[in-house]
Amino acid sequence: MIYCQHCNAAEGQLHDPFCYSEECPFCGGQLVSCNCPYQQINLYDTNRYPDQTAFLPPEVYQHGLDDAQAKTWLGILDAKGLIPCISYLWECARCGT
């Protein structure tokens, strides 16, 4: 059996919440650090907020999602479906081992 090196989830099981190895089902990046929550909740406003807040409302940029926004994001993730722990086999492109 293969396990996640960060949260110890077995292959095929869901990662623990906030596991660094969990993949975002929207962008394929690292779920804990991608911008998808802000995009999916429509918090970006390129016309209203200057680029120093990454186009986010200043309170979100400084403090993250509030409880209502976090609940919305979790609902969006639940509807999309989380990606289970998957062990990718690493293969050398040069020799095939």
Q: Give the pLDDT of residue 26.
A: 95
CB 43, CB 51: distance < 8 Å: no
Q: Give the pLDDT of residue 78.
A: 95
State how far the Cα of 40 lies from the Cα of 76, in Å rounded to an integer: 8
Q: Give the pLDDT of residue 56.
A: 74
Chunk the chain into consecutive blocks of 10 residues (it has 97) and report each block's average pLDDT, rounded to whole numbers.
Answer: 90 93 94 89 70 68 88 96 84 75
Q: Give the pLDDT of residue 9.
A: 95
pTM of the model: 0.75
